[in-house]
Structure 1
Amino acid sequence: MFKKISVTLIVVHVLFISAISHAKLPRGVEKITSIEGITEYRLKNGLQVLLFPDVTQETITVNVTYKVGSKHENYGETGMAHLLEHLVFKGTPRHPNIPKELTDHGAEPNGTTWTDRTNYFETFSATDENLNWALDLEADRMVNSFIRKEDLDSEMTVVRNELENGENSPVRVLISRMLAASYDWHNYGKSTIGAISDLENVKIENLKAFYKKYYQPDNATLIVTGKIDEDKTIKLVNKYFSKIKKPKRSLQALYTEEPIQDGERQVTIRRSGDVKVVASMYKIPAGFDNAFPSVTVLTNILGDPTSGRLQKSLVKNKLAAFAYGFNFQWGE
């Protein structure tokens, strides 16, 4: 059975590549490479596009990832990347009510912010109308989001609640303090959600400048996956995103390097309550390093919450209520 399925998949894969290779690309679109059914394209304005057709699905997911996160924030700007994520959902002149549009199209949306990136995505039923709408929406809010003072004021309550929820979680608090102790200079040691003083005093002009600098096609990757026709989809991508001009500004690579750690560091937190948490943290290779997959396997062997060795030795012997491990897949 296994061999039969493998052969079938290979045949479909070969036929698919053959069909796409003869399709004429729109002007200004360059095909970079195709690996395991995922094809990379590049638009003239610098936008990276990844298309991954999957005919077994009845849905399509459109995702835009911007290469900006908390590590790009300067002094006094902590939490800016995450705060901007909230504001980008507030609309554009052509899409003034994004939450309503998402509901009307039956989409399941979200946005997330991390150290190296911010992303927005929506999953919806695989129809041409839905795909057109989603690509138009993401292209429009890439450069035309309102970023208004009134929206900043209204979202402050939401962001403040997120921050307070994190402060009420013993595990999150411990991890946050451990990261702060692990990094002397690099922004990986700072919380993505930011400091309350920075959040409450940030100027809307600063957020607009941050948005204009980083939310651009040459700093973004568009991913479309699901039940799509690749030839039609790349033409739609070009239709909506090629209108955005490549910015004249240049993005400088961050050059802060964390010095070699010269010994073990310890963090002790004392608060009221009965919950006790013990954790250990190790610096590992970056997510793009060839060694990272091996570290991930090791982490799963030790820290899988259902079958890991920590689970067997601690939880099953009633020495702990829960035990698990995970990796931060960072760019550096």
Structure 2
Amino acid sequence: ATQPKTTVSVTYLVGSHHENYGETGMAHLLEHLMFKGTPAHGNIMTELGRRGMDFNGSTGFDRTNYHEIFSASPANLDWALAMEADRMVNSFISRKDLDSEMTVVRNEMESGENNPHSILVQRMLSAAFNWHNYGKEPIGARTDVERVNIARLQAFYRAYYQPDNAVLIVAGAFDPDEALRVIAKHFGPIPRPARKLPPLYTDEPVQDGERQVVLRRVGDTQLVGALYHTMPQASPDYVAMDALTEIMTRAPSGRLYQALVDTNLSTAVEGENWGMHDPGVAMFFAQVPAGGSRDKARDAMVATLEGVKAQPITAVEVERVRTRALNDFERIIASPQAFAASISEAMASGDWRLFFLERDRWRKVSAADVQRVAVAYLKPANRTVGEFIPDAQPERSPAQAKVDIATLVRDYKGDAPVAAGVSFDPTPVNLDLRTQRFALGNGMKVVLLPKKTRGGTVQFALKLHQGDERSLAGRDTDGDLAASMLMRGTAKHSRQEIEDALDAYRARLSINGDATVTQARGQTVRERLPDTLRLVAEIL
């Protein structure tokens, strides 16, 4: 006979969602180091293996979980609970252990990097989320992981691995009263921390237009995908979106299956509705065979998903996926290990009772509910499309290394100093004394204010008055348009030649006006002022 099993599961309500700048991958790194031991429990992984316990750790966006499954006995339960209580607050989290574990973490990263589907999901999430940390996968950025500051990692551990941020689940074969006594013995002495966890307040704005990601890497199978922002798992509409995902992808009745696989546009389709603490995503993917058309597969996928408005969800479709979902709930509840895992995930989304609330919502969800949610969320402005294009030799721009600025500028010798200006008293009396006024033979009035300036710069302004009340009547638009066209070329010089001449003269020029006046303003240097003024005169 199969020996009864017991499951001990500890979930910390911290994941990649909680990481700050430069800390991506920190929650996942910490998961690895939690097996390296405490002063009282040497190498935890070795001890677990010696006791024949199945175990694992996993990191998500909203939680980090550790669990042990073992032959039911008071001794095993006592040891597992003692170990979990101990490593909650006494783990080494040392530089030595971090260095030794880095190879394992790198291998995990490289495994993901070699999986086109996994990388495409990462790229699509990154494109879909501008601000929220759901746009960053828990594995983290390679440079953040490789350069992690051990003091910051230890601070992360001390902040989040505390009893007020943890959920303990014991499932399977055990005596409840004895389990509660042992839990109190090992976890009760851990003091409630004085620190307060920082609130997470970043909300992702509603997406404001279609987005697209194209990934080119070595690979065999083409992929197309569509991602849509959705609701948190606690939302009353979450189950309707879950039902919609199943209606679209389940073989052989799924709408995407029939539109893509049955027509040979794709070899397989899949979909996921991510249940998360904050608003999440629903994603749909199709594998496109070699030589197949990604464009046709993508267009058929989008047309099927967003065509629900014209082809409403039916009661038959909802009943089919409802039956399967409720059967899954029964199977989960019948398995202590699966039940513990599901309760753990519900806690990460907000509360353990969400598991049962979700089951109850499955019993009631209607075709009208699914239709309403489909029309609300499966729309172009909420869509991010992804494509994976296999490429045996993908082109890349060169990787950029950091520049050692200190070395770069250590022996720098600059140009000769720029000619300095002089201080100037801008009072009305002094301005009047320094200003020269005269008129040209054609009647143009000229005002000059000589002054030694930094770099020999000269500022100039020209104002031309034109027309009279009668000649300008109804010609406001003509004046605006004429002024805006002046810099676009003359009889002698094209627009580009004017731009090149201004650059050569070290000058800047702007011209604007209306029906009554045209104004030119600019700057140049003293020695190029005559050339600049001649060009201005030509333009005008």
The interval holding the TM-score normalised by the smaller chain is: 0.7 to 0.9
Which of 192, 195, 216 is the aligned partner of 1:246?
Answer: 192
Distance across 1 between alignment mates of 2:27 and 2:253? 36
Which of 150, 158, 161 is the aligned partner of 1:215?
Answer: 161
Distance across 1 between alignment mates of 2:222 and 2:113? 15
The CA deviation at 1:321 is 2.1
Match of 2:113 in 1: 167
Per-residue Cα deviation, 1:2-38 (whole angstroms, up to 9, x for no partner): xxxxxxxxxxxxxxxxxxxxxxxxxxxxxxxxxxxxx
The CA deviation at 1:133 is 0.7
Letter in 1 for 2:177: D
1:190 maps onto 2:156 in alignment: no
State the identity %.
55
Match of 2:235 in 1: 289
Contact 1:57-1:227 within 8 A present in 2 as well: no
The CA deviation at 1:301 is 2.0
Normalised TM-score (structure 2): 0.50
Give the CA RMSD over aligned residues. Answer: 1.6
Match of 1:25 in 2: none
Distance across 1 between alignment mates of 2:57 and 2:253? 31
The CA deviation at 1:307 is 5.7
Structure ID, larger Rg: 2
1:90 maps onto 2:39 in alignment: no
Matches within 5 A, 1:299-318: 299-304=245-250, 308-318=254-264
Match of 2:26 in 1: 80
RCO comparison, higher one (Cα < 8 Å, 6+): 1
Which stretch has the larger CA shift, 288-297 or 249-258? Answer: 288-297
Which of 16, 32, 47 is the aligned partner of 1:101?
Answer: 47
Distance across 2 between alignment mates of 1:237 and 1:305? 45
Match of 1:255 in 2: 201
Normalised TM-score (structure 1): 0.80
Matches within 5 A, 1:316-331: 316-331=262-277
Matches within 5 A, 1:1-332: 58-304=4-250, 308-332=254-278
> What is the DSSP-based 3-state SS (H/G/I as helix, E as strand, rest coil) of the residue aligned with 1:173?
helix
Contact 2:3-2:71 within 8 A present in 1 as well: no
Letter in 2 for 1:180: S
Distance across 2 between alignment mates of 1:57 and 1:163? 37
> What is the DSSP-based 3-state SS (H/G/I as helix, E as strand, rest coil) of the residue aligned with 1:282?
strand
1:247 and 1:199, CA in 2 relative to 1: closer, same or farther beyond 3 A? same
Contact 2:116-2:219 within 8 A present in 1 as well: no
Contact 1:180-1:189 within 8 A present in 2 as well: yes
4+ runs deviating over 6 angstroms:
none
Distance across 1 between alignment mates of 2:200 and 2:211? 26
Contact 2:14-2:27 within 8 A present in 1 as well: yes
The CA deviation at 1:306 is 6.6
* Structure 1 gaps, min length 5: 1-55
Distance across 1 between alignment mates of 2:130 and 2:70? 43
1:246 and 1:305, CA in 2 relative to 1: closer, same or farther beyond 3 A? farther
> What is the DSSP-based 3-state SS (H/G/I as helix, E as strand, rest coil) of the residue aligned with 1:270?
strand
Distance across 1 between alignment mates of 2:254 and 2:48? 39
> What is the DSSP-based 3-state SS (H/G/I as helix, E as strand, rest coil) of the residue aligned with 2:57?
strand
1:305 and 1:132, CA in 2 relative to 1: closer, same or farther beyond 3 A? farther
Match of 2:433 in 1: none
Letter in 2 for 1:264: E
